[in-house]
Amino acid sequence: MRGLIAALVMTFGLSQAALAQSQAPVTAAAASPVVEVAGVKYETGLNLGGQTLQLNGAGIRYKAVFKVYTAGLYLSTKANSTEAALAAPGPKRLHIVMLREVDGNELGRLFTKGMEQNASREEFGKAINGVLRVAEIFASRKSLTTGEHFSIDYIPGTGSVVLLNGKPQGAPIKEPEFFSALLRIWLGKSPADDQLKDALLGNAKERSGRS
């Protein structure tokens, strides 16, 4: 399976199909306060798909002592466990802002590996279309540099919409299993960063020895 993914990532280019008209606009909630993480500001509330979401948690992805990116999770209701986050009704958003330059192919491989490690074989199989789409998007970029950002929005009835620097990247990914598999990269049994998992679930703990 991993060999097939790697081959397809190298073969396919970035799809630039128009965003489905059913995609609802996303706006920050009026006068919403913000939470600042490593200099990145996250609105505590936003509107997505006609529904108000709240910032469930935000934190930093570290590699060794280096800050790689910040991540924020938006849900319709507060969730302090993986199961509750996955089961939260309505739209959801995961927003990531880069804190250092990362190779695009490497980022795509890490995301694919994270989904494969944390999703069941059945769920990963059903999510494969979205897995390949995300890998294509990152593979099309030489790198993502400091300050660049991307979001993945899940909207019931529409699917998952990938936005890179605020611009939609092709049509929505229809399979609902994709967004669940994606969230498991950070919230699953083998998360990308244990303390980032706690932060996204609103259970942040101070990371000793790091600034």
DSSP of 110-147: HHHHHHHHHS-HHHHHHTHHHHHHHHHHHHTSSEE-TT
Burial label for 141, CB within 10 Å (0-12, 13-18, 19+), is middle
The amino acid that residue 46 corresponds to is: L
pLDDT value of residue 141: 86
The amino acid that residue 100 corresponds to is: R
Is the separation of the CB atoms in 92 and 179 below 8 Å?
A: yes
Report pLDDT digits (tens) over 131-159. 999 988 888 888 999 999 999 999 999 99
**What are the structural domains, with CATH classification, of the chain?**
2-16+35-200 (3.50.70.10)
- Per-residue pLDDT at 17 exceeds 90: no
pLDDT value of residue 162: 95
pLDDT value of residue 192: 92
Is the separation of the CB atoms in 158 and 22 below 8 Å?
A: yes
Taking the C-alpha atoms of residue 46 and residue 53, their distance in angstroms, rounded to an integer, is 5
pLDDT value of residue 25: 40
- 185 vs 12, residue with greater confidence: 185
Nearest Cα neighbor of 40 from 198, 164, 149 is 149
Taking the C-alpha atoms of residue 107 and residue 134, their distance in angstroms, rounded to an integer, is 10
* Helices then strands, each counted (H, E), the chain: 7, 12
With pLDDT > 70 as the criterion, what percentage of the chain qualifies? 82
> Which band of pLDDT confidence, cut at 50, 70 and 90, is reported for residue 205?
low
Helix (H) or strand (E) holding 70: strand 66-75
pLDDT value of residue 128: 92
Structure tokens that stand for 168 in this block: 């939609």
- Per-residue pLDDT at 9 exceeds 90: no
Taking the C-alpha atoms of residue 48 and residue 72, their distance in angstroms, rounded to an integer, is 15
How much is the average pLDDT of 11-18? Answer: 35
Residue with tokens 């970035």: 14
> Which band of pLDDT confidence, cut at 50, 70 and 90, is reported for residue 191?
very high
**Residue 95: what are its φ and ψ, rounded to 5°?**
-120, 130
Report pLDDT digits (tens) over 34-89. 999 999 999 999 999 999 999 999 999 999 889 999 999 999 999 999 999 999 99
pTM above 0.85, yes or no: no
> How far from 61 is each of 5, 53, 147, 171, 192, CA to CA, in Å?
24, 23, 14, 28, 8
Taking the C-alpha atoms of residue 83 and residue 196, their distance in angstroms, rounded to an integer, is 16
Nearest Cα neighbor of 151 from 95, 207, 208 is 95
- Mean pLDDT (the chain) is 84
Structure tokens that stand for 197 in this block: 């998992």
- Per-residue pLDDT at 11 exceeds 50: no
> Which band of pLDDT confidence, cut at 50, 70 and 90, is reported for residue 32?
low
pLDDT value of residue 90: 95
